[in-house]
Structure formats: C-alpha cells, structure tokens
Amino acid sequence: MPNIGLNEIIIVAIVLIVLFGSKALPNFIRGIAKAIREFRQASKSE
C-alpha cells in the first residue's frame, strides 16, 4: 500500500474543494462514508 503523507492529503482536499465546491463536498463525503459502512457490514455478515 502506498505511503500517503500529509502533503498528499492536503493536495487532494484542495482539488476536491475546487472540483466540487465547498457546498457539495459534505454531501459527497457523507455518501462515501455511507458506502464504506455498508460495505463493511456486508463483509461482516458473510
């Protein structure tokens, strides 16, 4: 797995804010978090 540092996280955050805007970003992050939760629950139930 690649080593992701603080600089890369900051760059990705800036790019996301520029692409999606500051108003749409929270909804985008909630959607990703919900998908991750559902994936974890599905993997545990099997």
- Contact 40/32 with Cβ under 8 angstroms? no
Residue 28 lies in a domain: yes
Residue 10 lies in a domain: no
Residue 13 lies in a domain: no
Six token digits for residue 14: 């800036």
Q: What is the pLDDT of residue 1?
A: 59
Q: Tokens 């520029």 identify what position?
A: 18
Q: What is the pLDDT of residue 2?
A: 72
Q: In the chain, what's the furthest Cα-to-Cα distance?
A: 39
Number of residues written out for the chain? 46
Q: What is the pLDDT of residue 38?
A: 93
Question: For 23-43, how does the pLDDT look when each residue is reduced to its tens digit (9 = 90+)?
Answer: 888 888 899 899 999 999 988
For residue 33, give its domain range: 22-46
- Beta-carbon contacts of 17 under 8 Å, excluding residues fewer than 6 positions away, are 25
Residue 16 has pLDDT above 90, yes or no: no
Residue 11 lies in a domain: no
DSSP 8: H
Q: What is the pLDDT of residue 26?
A: 86
Please give the backbone phi and psi of residue 4, each rounded to the nearest 5 degrees, phi first: -100, 120
Residue 8 lies in a domain: no
